[in-house]
Amino acid sequence: MERLIFHVDVNSAFLSWEAVRLVKNGESDVRLIPSCIGGDPNSRRGIVLAKSIPAKKYGIVTGEPIGLALQKCPELMVLPADFKLYAASSRAFKSILREYAPVVEEFSIDEAFLDMSGTALLYPDPLALAHTMKNRIRDELGFTVNVGIGRNKLCAKMASDFEKPDKVHTLFPEEIESKLWPLPVGDLLFVGRSSVRRLETAGIRTIGELGHADPKLLASLLGEKMSRQAYRYANGIDDSPVRAEPEIPKGFSNEVTLEEDVVRDEQAHAVLLSLADCVSARLRDEGYKAQGISVTVRYLNFQKRSHQCMLERATHSSRTVYETSKKLLSELWGDHRPLRLMGIAATNLLGKDEPEEGQLSLFGEEDSAAGRKNEKLDQALDSLRRRFGSGAVKRGASMTVREEVARKYKGKSDSER
DNA sequence: CTCGGCATCCTAT
DNA sequence: CTAACGATAGGATGCCGAG
């Protein structure tokens, strides 16, 4: 069965979506000047999340610190991120795709795979269909996309990355040699910075060289699994299906880069409480309990460390997550070296309907008096948040970590933000 | 020896 | 000079102790 896969990718998604909103408000189009979306402008630690094409001409790249970008281009306009807007824009964009495609996989907020296999009678000309889709999105929603077409997801995705913006590209098997193999290895999906560095030591610079390399050599450079996947990808081989169903989550995590370095236990515990509140509220909202908790810290030199543990029993209680994370931090942070980042992750999730291994619901945390009290408090806070928004409820630490950290250490109020 | 837990590394948006 | 100034997620890998 020959497949036909599209990959649709919004060009400079966050910036495009912000530009559309500004244009609707009668303002000028920031896509036409050097501009970018850059993290939290109040924190000095933001990075470039999306940039305009004029900004790119200054050598500004996604992921670089805002300060550095401003050095390259002092007149760069930096706009704050607004994830509510992005979620709404993403929905509108994907709902147009669903009008054409029987199976849509939401790969990220601004990317989707469409399985168009077997639609030849309905759409005899796939290229024409791709143009129709991208033009409709552009004309109705005001932003451009790239469409990549191939026989599998990998080729569709690589093709959508070719030339931007507002383009349709194909990467069919007979085009692998001319379109894929000349590209630098780092352009290949899942060949990141570290793999590029290792491949370079063996003189492998292009995707074509990777696709012709000795599998034994690749295994020694990249490891067993990664090397096999890289070799297949380099030759345009990929069997993975387009999945319409979202994956079942494996964990929830929240982490913050702190406005000020944390050196004392009281500061650290305030941050943990806030993070624990976030993570546990997400567990309750999504109907999961965590069997494991992990705490991560990052020092001033960017070195990261983490400690994790398994719980006696699964939990979604903010108190249990908090107390556990305090214990993990104390194991991790004996030296009290200054921290620039802290995070908590809930791991080894159990779904609502998924009973715990063993038979220990006898004197579990929900059954003790203290456990019931904590459960009640969490429920009450959750319902207040649902009614009045996440900013409404504060309890030493609030829903949003950044707010709380700012309040504690800078004495700023919400209105100043 | 194998398995599972843990810490870390790697990659993606 | 290097990496690297972010949040979140998932998978791979190497080590270690238990059975």
d(CA A47, CA A39): 6
Is the C-beta atom of A351 closer than 7 angstroms to strand C? Answer: no
Half-sphere exposure of A276 (CA within 13 A, CB side): 29
Give residue-wise pLDDT tens across range A136-184. Answer: 999 999 999 999 999 999 999 999 999 999 999 999 999 999 999 999 9
**pLDDT (0 to 100) of residue A351:** 84
pTM: predicted TM-score of the whole model, two decimal places: 0.89
Mean pLDDT for A252-275 is 94
Smallest CA–C1' separation from A292: which nucleotide?
B5
Percentage with pLDDT > 70 across chain A: 84
Separation in Å: C4 C1' and A298 CA: 13
- Nearest residue to C7 via alpha carbon and C1': A255
**pLDDT (0 to 100) of residue A352:** 72
- Nearest residue to C8 via alpha carbon and C1': A253
Separation in Å: C18 C1' and A327 CA: 25
Instruction: Using a 7 A cutoff on CB, list residues near strand B.
Output: A 63, 107-111, 188-196, 292, 294, 304-310
Mean pLDDT for A36-48 is 78
Is the C-beta atom of A46 closer than 7 angstroms to strand C? Answer: yes
Which pLDDT band, with edges at 50, 70 and 90, does A8 fall under? very high
Give residue-wise pLDDT tens across range A93-143. Answer: 999 999 999 999 999 999 999 999 999 999 999 999 999 999 999 999 999
- Nearest residue to B7 via alpha carbon and C1': A306
- If DSSP codes are grouped into helix, strand and coil, which group holds residue A281? helix
Protein fold of A181-234: DNA polymerase; domain 1 (1.10.150)
Non-local (6+) Cβ contacts of A287 within 8 A are A351, A352
User: Do A15-83 and A181-234 come out as alike in CATH topology?
Assistant: no
d(CA A277, CA A302): 25
- Nearest residue to B12 via alpha carbon and C1': A190
d(CA A329, CA A267): 12
Mean pLDDT for A369-386 is 65
* Average pLDDT score, chain A: 88
Give residue-wise pLDDT tens across range A52-77. Answer: 999 999 999 999 999 899 999 999 99
DSSP per residue, A113-173: EEE-TT-TTT-S-HHHHHHHHHHHHHHHHS--EEEEEESSHHHHHHHHTSS-SS-EEEE-G
- If DSSP codes are grouped into helix, strand and coil, which group holds residue A417? coil
d(CA A362, CA A357): 13
Higher confidence at residue A385 or residue A250?
A250
Give residue-wise pLDDT tens across range A340-357. Answer: 999 999 999 998 777 665
Half-sphere exposure of A382 (CA within 13 A, CB side): 20
Domain-wise residue ranges, chain A: 15-83, 181-234, 251-408
Question: Where do we find the tokens 């829903």?
Answer: A399
Smallest CA–C1' separation from A197: which nucleotide?
B10
What is the CATH code of the structural domain delimited by A15-83?
3.40.1170.60
- Complete edge-to-edge strand list for the sheet that includes strand A339-351: A251-262, A339-351, A288-299, A304-315
Percentage with pLDDT > 90 across chain A: 80
**pLDDT (0 to 100) of residue A349:** 93
Cβ distance A46 to A40 under 8 Å?
yes
What is the CATH code of the structural domain delimited by A251-408?
3.30.1490.100
**pLDDT (0 to 100) of residue A362:** 46
Tokens of A396: 């030493």
How many other CB atoms sit within 10 Å of the CB of residue A156? Answer: 29
Active site residue A247: no
Using alpha carbons only, give the angle A417, A35, A33 rounded to the nearest 5 degrees. 135
Smallest CA–C1' separation from A65: which nucleotide?
C5
Give residue numbers, 75 to 114 of A, with CB < 7 Å from strand C: none
Separation in Å: C18 C1' and A312 CA: 19
pLDDT greater than 70 at residue A308: yes
Q: Which of A105, A111, A365, A403 is catalytic?
A: A111
Nucleotides of B under 7 A from a protein CB: 5-13
Nucleotides of C under 7 A from a protein CB: 3-14
